[in-house]
């Protein structure tokens, strides 16, 4: 029952035919409740895992397994343009979901924001050109449309530098390309928030370096 790859924040592993996700770190109880609410509310709107069990005392969710290939793996295999176009299209679909389907979310804004959106949290069936799973909703909130698009771009710029030239596909799929100033500002806000969280632990250095890099970026 090894820990699943691409699970960086929590202890996530496959147990038989299910996924067990144990939340760790700052605000883990709030994050678990938020994800449970999103998965329950968004079923039927987006391809999200089904909650099969919930132990709020741990906290732990037991989830169904979604089919498909992980976005980061596919980018590594050379399919960045196809992946990013579907990331953009999935963002556009999320913009159409009414906030009333997840009334538990807090924050100020006009849309549901995933909060850690991008190829790192999506599963794909590229043969049929579709997203098969949208995962990890623990940072969801009410916010601005630019937040999730900007973070998907940040993931590519930070972790998939060979795919930066394919970022146009992200905005082609989304049907819009917000101004760089707004995207860059959203990236910086998110990195600074993650740095603040990291400063409560023993390892803030990686996020300091990432903030310095993000500050230097130009379109």
3-state secondary structure 129-168: CEEEEECCCCCCEEECCHHHHHHHHHHHHHHCHHHHHHHH
Pick the CATH number of 69-216 from 3.90.1200.10, 1.20.1560.10, 3.40.980.10, 3.40.50.720: 3.90.1200.10
pLDDT for the residue numbered 127: 97
CA end-to-end distance (rounded Å), the chain: 43
Confidence of residue 200 (pLDDT cuts 50, 70, 90): confident
Q: 178 near 167, Cβ under 8 Å?
A: no
Question: What is the CB neighbour count within 10 angstroms for residue 103?
Answer: 8
Residue 87 tokens, joined: 């990331």
Confidence of residue 198 (pLDDT cuts 50, 70, 90): confident
Confidence of residue 205 (pLDDT cuts 50, 70, 90): confident
Residue 204 tokens, joined: 């803030």
In the chain, ranges of CATH 3.90.1200.10 domains: 69-216
- CATH for 11-64 is 3.30.200.20
pLDDT for the residue numbered 7: 64
- Return d(Cα 6, Cα 90) in angstroms, integer: 20
49: phi then psi, degrees, rounded to nearest 5: -60, 155
Across the strands, what pairs with 14?
19
Angle (CA) 140 106 29, round 5°: 65
- Return d(Cα 110, Cα 197) in angstroms, integer: 25
* 162-175 per-position pLDDT tens digit: 999 999 999 999 99
Q: 198 near 207, Cβ under 8 Å?
A: yes
- Return d(Cα 194, Cα 178) in angstroms, integer: 23
Of residues 192 and 7, more confidently modeled: 192
In the chain, ranges of CATH 3.30.200.20 domains: 11-64
- Return d(Cα 78, Cα 162) in angstroms, integer: 9
Q: 170 near 158, Cβ under 8 Å?
A: no
Tokens 């176009």 belong to residue: 85
Confidence of residue 81 (pLDDT cuts 50, 70, 90): very high
* 96-153 per-position pLDDT tens digit: 999 999 999 999 999 999 999 999 999 999 999 999 999 999 999 999 999 999 999 9
pLDDT for the residue numbered 49: 98
**Whose CA is closest to 119, among 175, 65, 75?**
75
Longest dimension (CA), the chain: 46
């Amino acid at each position: 029952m090894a820990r699943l790859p691409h699970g960086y924040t929590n202890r996530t592993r496959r147990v038989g035919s299910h996924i067990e996700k144990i939340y760790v770190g700052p605000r883990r109880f709030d994050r678990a409740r938020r994800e449970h609410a999103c998965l329950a509310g968004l079923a039927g709107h987006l391809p999200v895992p089904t909650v099969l069990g919930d132990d709020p005392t741990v906290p732990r969710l037991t989830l169904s397994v979604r089919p498909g290939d992980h976005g980061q793996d596919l980018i590594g295999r050379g399919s960045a343009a196809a992946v990013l176009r579907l990331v953009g299209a999935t963002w556009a679909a999320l913009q159409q979901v009414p906030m009333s389907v997840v009334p538990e979310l807090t924050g100020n804004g006009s849309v549901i924001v995933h909060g850690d959106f991008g190829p790192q949290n999506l599963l794909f069936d590229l043969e049929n050109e579709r997203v098969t799973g949208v995962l990890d909703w623990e940072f969801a909130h009410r916010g601005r449309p630019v937040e999730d698009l900007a973070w998907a771009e940040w993931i590519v710029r930070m972790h998939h530098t060979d795919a930066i030239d394919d970022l146009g596909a992200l905005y082609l799929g989304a049907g819009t390309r917000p101004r760089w100033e707004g995207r860059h500002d959203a990236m910086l806000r998110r990195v600074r928030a993650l740095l603040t969280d990291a400063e409560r632990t023993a390892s803030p250095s990686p996020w300091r370096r990432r903030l310095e890099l993000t500050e230097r970026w130009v379109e």
